[in-house]
C-alpha cells in the first residue's frame, strides 16, 4: 500500500516530539507500509534537506533507545519531505493537491497537528480544492473544542468536507497498549465478563496522575484546566472501555456504539451533585521527586489570581442494569505524588469468612503507565500452621516483559491504524459531543462558584476532599488501602 502522510504543523512540538519519532519506530520495526512519503507542511521556507536536519537535531530530545543511528536516520530521512504552506491561501492547498495527485498514492492521511482553531479553515480549504476523495483521511488532534457548541461547530465544518469514516479524532490514551489489553481481557477471555457487573464489583477507580506541573504550557493550561484537558477525553474514554457492554463484533462502529451508550448512561450532574461529588484542586508549592517545586500560581504564563483547576476527582454513576449502584471514582491531576495511570476494580468482599483475621476483597489493578500490566490481588494461605490468617498475594502480568519486542507505542499504533483505515481507536463525533454534554454543567457550576479550587501541596495525592469523596461510601483510594 503506498501512502502519503501529511503533517500540518510540520515544525511544531507534536510533530517532532511525538509523531515523527513514532513513525521512525514503526519504520524501524518494519511496520510502516512500503512506498510511503511523509510530508511536513509549515509556514516558513525550507528545503527537504533542511527539514531532515531539523528533525535529526530534534531526535536528541527523544529517549536514547528510540533515537536512530546515523545510518538508520539516513534511510528513514529519505521518506521525509517539506512544503511551505500559508494555510490562509487557497492556492497553497491547490499546490498540495497537485503534489499528492502527481503520485496517486493508495492512501492519503492528512494529520492536523496545528492549533485546533485552524481545523475549520484547513478542512474547508481541503474540501474546496477537492483534497477529500475516498482515499483521503483527516486526523484531528485534541483539544477538539472548548465546550459542546465549539466541538459541534468543528464537527459541522469537518463534516462538510469529510464523511465521518474519513475523520479520525485522536485520543492518544486509546493508543496505549494497556487500553487494548483491557478489551482483550474483557472480551477475549471468558473469565472476567460474568464478574464484570454490580453483583461482584464494589467500585471502580480510575487514576491518571502526573508528577509534572504545567511546565511551559501555562497559558494553554490556564485557558483549559484539567476537566477539559484530561477528563472530557482521556479519562472518560477509559471509563467507556471499562463499562461498555460486549460489542457484537470487533468493528469500529460496533465498539463505538457501545461506548456511546455508556456516555449516554452517565448520570447527569445537578448543581447539588457537583457540590457533593466533584472536587477541583490547584497545586501549591511542594516537593516532587525530592525537589522543591513552585505552585501553579507561580508557574510561567499563569495569572497570579488564576482559578484554573489542576486536579479533578469525581464520583460517577452509570445508570444501567449492569452498573446501577456501583460508584466509579475518577481522579486526575498535575504535580501529584507519582506518574501513575491505573484502573482499579475493587470486587465485593466474601459474603462469609471462615478464616481468622481481616478478609480483604479481591482487586484487579490494570496499570497503564509507567508499567503496563495487570495485577490480580488475592488472599492465600502460607500453610505455616492451622487456622492461620490469610496473606495477600498477587498474580502479576507484565506486558512489557511478556511481549517485549512486539510492543507498539500509542502514537505508533494510532498512526499505523490511520494509514490502514482502522477506526476502532478513534473517537466518533457523537461520542465526543456526548462527553462535552456531560461535563458542561460542571464547567458552568464552577464559573458561578466563588470558592475556587481547593489547594493541595505538590507531590501529594490532591486535596483531602478527594479522599473524603471516596470515604463517604466506605471506600478508599488504592494508595490508602
Name which of 343, 99, 307, 312 is nearest 201 in CA terms: 343
Among 73, 11, 124, 32, residue whose Cα is nearest residue 418: 32
* Nearest Cα residue to 409 out of 368, 374, 375: 368
Compute the least distance from the CB of residue 453 to ligand BG6, in Å: 16
Shortest Å distance, C-beta 212 to ligand BG6: 7
Residue in the block written with cell 466533584: 278
Measured from the CB of residue 110, what is the shortest distance to ligand BG6 in angstroms?
21
Task: Indicate the residue among 142 and 422 with the shorter CB distance to ligand BG6.
Answer: 142
Residue 368 burial (10 A CB sphere; 0-12, 13-18, 19+): buried
299 touches ligand BG6 (CB under 6 A): no
234 belongs to the catalytic site: yes
Check 81, 117, 172, 234 and give the catalytic one.
Answer: 234
Stretch 166-195: interaction string toward ligand BG6, x if CB under 6 A: ------x-----------------------
Helix (H, G, I), strand (E, B) or coil at 329: strand
Q: How many residues bind ligand BG6 (CB under 6 A)?
A: 4
Backbone angles phi, psi at 227, to 5 degrees: -60, -45
Q: Is 437 helix (H, G, I), strand (E, B) or coil?
A: helix
Closer residue to ligand BG6 (CB): 349 or 370: 370
Interface residue with ligand BG6, options 32, 113, 174, 229 (CB under 6 A): 229
Residue number with the shortest CB distance to ligand BG6? 229
Q: How far is the CB of 417 from ligand BG6 (least distance, A)?
A: 17
Which CB atom, from 13 or from 86, has the smaller least distance to ligand BG6? Answer: 13
Nearer to ligand BG6, 295 or 333 (CB): 333
Q: How far is CA 11 from the centre of its chain?
A: 23
Which residue of 27, 203, 207, 210 would you call a contact of ligand BG6, by CB under 6 A? 210
Cis peptide leading into residue 475 (ω within 30°): no
Cβ neighbours of 7 (radius 10 Å): 27
Minimum Å distance from CB 142 to ligand BG6?
6
| CA 455 – CA 464 distance, rounded (Å) | 9
203 sits in which H/E element: strand 201-209
Nearest residue to 144 (alpha-carbon basis) of 169, 126, 162: 169
Closest to ligand BG6 by CB, 210 or 222: 210
Find the shortest distance in angstroms from Cβ 467 to ligand BG6.
23
d(CA 195, CA 329): 19
Nearer Cβ to ligand BG6 (229/433): 229
d(C-alpha 438, C-alpha 260), whole Å: 12
Check: CB of residue 301 under 8 Å from CB of residue 222: yes
**SS3 for 355?**
coil
Applying CB under 6 A, the residues found at the interface with ligand BG6 are 142, 172, 210, 229
Active-site residue numbers? Answer: 234
Amino acid at each position: 500500500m503506498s501512502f502519503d502522510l501529511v503533517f500540518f504543523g510540520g515544525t511544531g512540538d507534536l510533530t517532532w516530539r511525538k509523531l515523527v519519532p513514532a513513525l521512525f519506530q514503526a519504520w524501524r520495526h518494519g511496520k510502516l507500509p512500503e512506498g510511503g512519503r511523509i510530508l511536513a507542511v509549515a509556514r516558513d521556507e525550507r528545503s527537504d534537506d533542511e527539514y531532515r536536519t531539523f528533525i535529526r537535531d530534534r531526535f536528541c530530545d527523544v529517549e536514547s533507545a528510540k533515537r536512530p543511528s546515523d545510518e538508520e536516520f539516513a534511510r528513514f530521512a529519505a521518506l521525509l519531505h517539506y512544503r511551505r504552506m500559508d494555510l490562509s491561501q487557497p492556492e497553497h492547498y491547490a499546490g498540495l493537491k497537485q503534489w499528492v495527485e502527481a503520485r496517486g498514492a493508495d492512501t492519503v492521511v492528512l494529520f492536523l497537528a496545528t492549533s485546533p482553531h485552524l481545523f475549520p479553515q484547513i478542512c474547508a480549504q481541503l474540501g474546496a480544492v477537492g483534497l477529500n476523495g475516498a482515499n483521503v483521511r483527516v486526523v484531528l488532534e485534541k483539544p477538539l473544542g472548548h465546550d459542546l457548541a465549539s466541538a459541534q461547530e468543528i464537527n459541522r465544518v469537518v463534516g462538510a468536507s469529510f464523511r465521518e469514516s474519513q475523520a479520525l479524532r485522536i485520543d492518544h490514551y486509546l493508543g496505549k497498549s494497556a487500553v487494548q489489553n483491557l478489551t482483550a481481557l474483557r472480551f477475549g477471555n471468558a473469565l472476567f465478563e460474568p464478574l464484570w457487573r454490580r453483583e461482584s464489583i464494589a467500585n471502580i477507580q480510575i487514576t491518571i496522575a502526573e508528577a509534572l506541573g504545567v511546565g511551559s504550557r501555562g497559558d494553554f493550561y490556564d485557558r483549559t484546566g484539567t476537566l477539559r484537558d484530561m477528563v472530557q477525553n482521556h479519562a472518560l474514554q477509559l471509563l467507556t472501555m471499562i463499562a461498555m457492554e460486549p460489542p457484537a463484533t470487533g468493528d469500529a462502529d460496533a465498539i463505538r456504539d457501545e461506548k456511546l451508550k455508556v456516555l449516554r448512561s452517565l448520570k447527569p450532574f445537578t448543581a447539588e451533585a457537583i457540590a457533593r461529588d466533584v472536587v477541583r484542586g490547584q497545586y501549591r508549592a511542594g516537593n516532587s521527586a525530592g525537589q522543591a517545586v513552585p505552585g501553579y500560581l507561580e508557574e510561567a504564563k499563569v495569572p497570579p489570581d488564576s482559578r484554573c483547576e489542576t486536579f479533578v476527582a469525581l464520583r460517577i454513576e452509570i445508570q444501567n442494569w449492569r452498573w446501577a449502584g456501583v460508584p466509579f471514582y475518577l481522579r486526575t491531576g498535575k504535580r501529584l505524588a507519582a506518574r501513575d495511570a491505573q484502573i482499579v476494580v475493587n470486587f465485593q468482599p466474601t459474603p462469609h469468612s471462615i478464616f481468622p483475621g481481616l478478609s480483604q476483597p479481591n482487586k484487579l489493578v490494570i496499570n497503564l503507565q509507567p508499567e503496563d500490566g495487570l495485577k490480580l490481588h488475592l488472599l492465600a494461605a502460607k500453610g505455616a500452621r492451622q487456622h492461620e490468617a490469610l496473606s495477600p498475594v498477587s498474580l502479576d502480568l507484565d506486558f512489557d516483559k511478556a511481549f517485549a519486542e512486539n510492543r507498539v507505542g500509542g502514537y505508533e499504533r494510532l498512526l499505523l491504524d490511520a494509514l490502514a483505515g482502522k477506526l476502532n481507536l478513534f473517537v466518533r463525533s457523537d461520542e465526543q459531543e456526548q462527553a462535552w454534554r456531560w461535563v458542561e454543567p460542571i464547567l458552568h457550576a464552577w464559573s458561578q462558584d466563588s470558592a475556587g479550587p481547593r489547594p493541595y501541596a505538590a507531590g501529594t495525592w490532591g486535596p483531602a476532599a478527594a479522599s473524603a469523596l471516596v470515604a463517604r461510601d466506605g471506600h478508599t483510594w488504592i494508595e490508602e488501602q
